[in-house]
Amino acid sequence: MTGLGGLNKSPNGVVLGLVQLQLPNVVTPDDLSAQTQRICDMVGKARRNLPTMDLVVFPEYALHGLSMDTNPEIMCRLDGPEMAAFSAACRDNGIWGCFSMMEYNPNGNPYNSGIILDDKGELQLYYRKMHPWVPVEPWEPGDLGIPVCEGPNGSKLALMICHDGMFPEMARECAYKGAEITIRTAGYTAPIRHAWRITNQANAFCNLMYTASVCMCGSDRTFDSMGEGMFVNFDGVPLVMGSDRPNEIITAELRPDLVREARVRWGVENNIYQLGHRGYVAVKGGAQDCPYTYMQDLVKGEYRLPWDAEVVHTDGRSCGFEEPTRKYKG
C-alpha cells in the first residue's frame, strides 16, 4: 500500500517522506548554521511538496557531512540552536520530523544521535547510535537503548542509524518493543548498496514491520553518498525505491493497521512470535527457553567468537584514530 506515494491517503495511513539530502561539507560553526537552515528549508519543501505528508525524515550526517570531525565547536546539544531550529520548522509547517546530529559528550567522544519531533515541535524520540560503523567512525557507543514512540495517526515508530541495521538483533528489538515502522537513516556510499537493500528487506520481513530507510546523496568532492531511499512492506517486498538524485523526497503511505493485523493473524512466518514459542504445534505454548549461546554469553559479558583472537581490526588505528584506553561503563 503506497497510496500513489501518499497522494491518496487512507484514514488509517501514515505518509512518510525520505529526503535524499545533498551531502554537505561542514567545517566551521558558520557552515553548521548554514546547513541547519538548508534542512529547515527542506522541511518547508516537504510540506509544500505533499500536503498529506505526516513525517519527513532526514539522513544520518545531514548536519555534519561525512568528515568524522569531532571538533567541539561544531558538535550539537539537545538544547542547542540547531535542535531549536528544527523544532520551529516542524511547528511552523505542521509536520513531524526525524533529524540527525553529532552530539557533544563531555565525558568522551561525541554521540551519533537522532531525534523525532512531532508537528508541535515537541521531542518524541531521542536515540544514540548503538553500533558506530567501526573502524571508520569515532562515535561513542549509544547508551540509551532502543526507544519506541507513538507517531502520527497512532503509529509506533523506532529509529536505527546506518550500521545499526546490519544487526538483526537491532531490528528485532525495535519490533519487540512495538515498532510498526522502523526508520533507518544513513550516510552510506555505493559499496554498501547491495547490503543496504537486503538488510532493509530482511529487517521488515523477519519482524512483520515496515522499514523506511534513506541515505545522504550526491558528492562533497571527497565522498559520494548513494541516496536510495526505500520503503519495504512488512512481507519484505519493496514498495518504493529511490534514486541517486540529491534533495529528492521519496514518499509512501504506510498502513500500521495492516502490520497489527499480520502480527495477530499470521500463522506461517510469524517469526517474531515464533522465536519465543518454538514448535508450538508439538508442545503447549512452544518452547520458551533461550537456546542461543551468543545471547547467553552477551548477557554474561563473555561474548567471544571462535576466531576472536585472530580478528585484525579491533580499534580505529587503521582509519587514523588513536587506540582508546577508556573502558565502556554502560
**DSSP letter for each residue of 33-93:** HHHHHHHHHHHHHHHHH-TT--EEE--TTTTTTTS----GGG-B-TTSHHHHHHHHHHHHH
Strand partners of residue 240: 231
The residue count of the chain comes to 330
CA distance readout (Å), 18 to 48, 59, 280, 309, 313: 14, 8, 40, 41, 34
Place of cell 523525532: 116
66: nearest Cα among 134, 137, 16: 137
Q: Of these residues, 90, 98, 149, 162, which one is catalytic?
A: 162
Q: Of these residues, 40, 60, 137, 174, which one is catalytic?
A: 60
CA distance readout (Å), 23 to 60, 67, 276: 10, 11, 42
Per-position b or e across 95-120, b if 16+ CB within 10 A of its CB? bbbbbbbbbbbeeebbbbbbbbbbbe
CA distance readout (Å), 318 to 11, 131, 178, 204: 52, 18, 39, 34
Count Cα neighbours of 211 within 13 Å in the Cβ-side half-sphere.
Answer: 35
Does the active-site annotation cover 162? yes
Does the active-site annotation cover 150? no
Q: Of these residues, 76, 82, 90, 129, which one is catalytic?
A: 129
Catalytically active residues are: 60, 129, 162
